[in-house]
Amino acid sequence: MSESRDMLREVFRETGRRLTSQRCLILDVLEASDEHLDAEAVYELAKDRAPDISLATVYRTLTLLREMGFVEEHRLGEGHCHYEAVHEEPHYHFTCRKCGKVIEFDAPLISRIRRDLSQREGVKITKAHLHLTGYCRDCQDRETSGDPV
């Protein structure tokens, strides 16, 4: 077992929980994905490796992993949530209102705002969210060329 799994197992143990193979699998699916997956997509990918996993287990595990700080939950302009493994570096999201494309981006200005606010007001900021919506370049190009989307 890898050193990171040992550390993960210890974090679970400290909170009175077990790091099960299904929890590991769901976290692995999220870490391996370059996309923002909804619970059903996580389920489908996990089911390929563990056919006996249930959708209910996926939902419960996503909730647990989010509460423990290993997974982020995003509402990206749709009626359901998307999930991704927590990244070391903060990043933000743009969602196209027409095609649903999600673009991740860095915003150093947000880091500066967080630092300035913390210093000025004495607050401890634990999380910052920035989600922009609009129209991606492809959808704008199709609109101006008259092509249907």
Q: Give 28-56 pLDDT, tens digit per residue.
A: 999 888 777 889 999 999 999 999 999 99
For the entire predicted model, the pTM comes to 0.64
CATH topology of domain 89-149: Dna Ligase; domain 1 (3.30.1490)
Interior/surface letters 118-138, b for 16+ CB within 10 angstroms, e for the rest: eeeeeeeeeeeeeeeeebbee
CATH entry, 1-86, from 1.10.10.10, 2.70.70.10, 3.40.50.2000, 2.60.120.260: 1.10.10.10
Rounded to 5°, angle at Cα 15 from 14 and 21: 90
Q: Rounded CA gap, 120 and 73, in Å?
A: 29
Q: What residues does CATH 3.30.1490.190 cover in the chain?
A: 89-149
Q: Give 53-90 pLDDT, tens digit per residue.
A: 999 999 999 999 988 888 888 776 666 788 888 776 67
